[in-house]
Amino acid sequence: MGRDDEQVDPMEIDCQQKLQVEASTAVPEGFNADYLRVYYGKLFPYGDFFKWLCYGNDGKHPGCDQSYVGRREFSFTLENDIYLRFQSFDSASELESSIKEKCPFKIDIGPVYSVDPAKRHAYAQSGNNVFVPVERELIFDIDISDYDDVRYCCSGADVCLDCWPLMTIAIKILDTSLRDDFGFNHILWVYSGRRGVHCWVCDSRARKLSNEQRAAVADYFRVYKGGENALKKVSLAGPVLHPFLAQSYTDVLESFFEDKLLLSQQLFASEDRCQKILDLIPDENVASELHDKWQRNRSTSISKEDVNAARWKQLKTTLQSGKHKGLRRCVEEIVFLYTYPRLDMEVSKHMNHLLKAPFCIHPKTGRVCVPIDPNNCEDFDPTAVPTLSQLLGELNAASFQTDSENSK
């Protein structure tokens, strides 16, 4: 797929493979195997991490599935881009020992298979074709780079506090719907370490969804169709908005667009940006009328904030006035295009997809893939997430202080 936060189809790569990488993928200063060894030796939360993936199948009570966690796939990307697939572990100590020994630059989590993935060849040789994924969290992957056509502060993997709120909005929209519309309760949001967020829906019901059911859930959220040549990039089917979309619009999207995004992204600050929005109006006469108004008012000395607000108000009033039949929905379509979550649909649809584990260190930023509290997601600052070198600095400082106190 070509993205650092994504994986090659997990069914196509076997146990070890040297990946082809470009020179630009060199790790940042402060990220190396020696630093990782200290992190894995002192800070990685093995116990809680393993307990999460056991879902109670830890052998401590009658009726649990003793083989459950041993059928889960782990994938390690080692230094020099050596890719280890189909690793499996029966205990937290076994997982810890392997991570400390191999010191993976990245850890990915796959599905729970019908048999131990490390022993899949033995089953294949016996003629029993039983190696299939049987359980996996429902996952969502959202990258800020997928919003490049509607953000002007950054592009690609770059992110700042002006465009990161798009990720905050995605968390709010999806988390609310997953709980209210689908009844899921155990939802983990994780910062990807660089340019986006990952969502793990961990309810037993979610983990047992088929690929077809996962696709149906993903399609429920799909509004953005994308594509450079697409005439219409969002689809709001029906004469009225679906209740989920209507609630998202009134509770979150409209106010975010008008109160924050208009100014933070300067959506009407240039001729090109204005024209991009005008191109979304299907009636060329109306679009031309608005364009002429804005051109006549160019010489007016008002602030950037007032320019963006004034032009949006003019557009909104014109389209919702009732004079132009069929254009009221266009206002909603513009807001959805600029604010609504954009999912990597394939990640959600297929049970066998790999996804980067929480508490990994992103190899290109050195940042920890930390959980995000959806109830306070607007307070999350990706630029303040601790890096590997910062953590080691804190460890060294704490060790120095302890040594100093002991020497007194």
- Does 12 participate in catalysis according to the annotation? no
Gap between the Cα atoms of 53 and 66, Å rounded: 13
Partnered with residue 122 across adjacent β-strands are none
- Per the residue annotation, which of 4, 5, 116, 143 is the catalytic one? 143
- Per the residue annotation, which of 116, 135, 141, 175 is the catalytic one? 141
Gap between the Cα atoms of 282 and 285, Å rounded: 9
Of 156, 136, 116, nearest to 24 by C-alpha is: 156
Gap between the Cα atoms of 334 and 163, Å rounded: 17
Q: Classify 198 as helix, strand or coil.
A: strand
| Crossing angle (nearest 10°) for helices 304-320 and 284-296 | 150
- Does 181 participate in catalysis according to the annotation? no
- Measured distance between the N- and C-terminal CA atoms of the chain, rounded to whole angstroms: 57
- Per the residue annotation, which of 73, 108, 137, 332 is the catalytic one? 73
How is residue 186 written in tokens? Answer: 């155990």
Instruction: Look up tokens 């800020």; give the residue.
Output: 144
- Does 158 participate in catalysis according to the annotation? no
Of 324, 323, 320, 354, nearest to 335 by C-alpha is: 320
Gap between the Cα atoms of 150 and 268, Å rounded: 12
List active site positions. Answer: 73, 141, 143
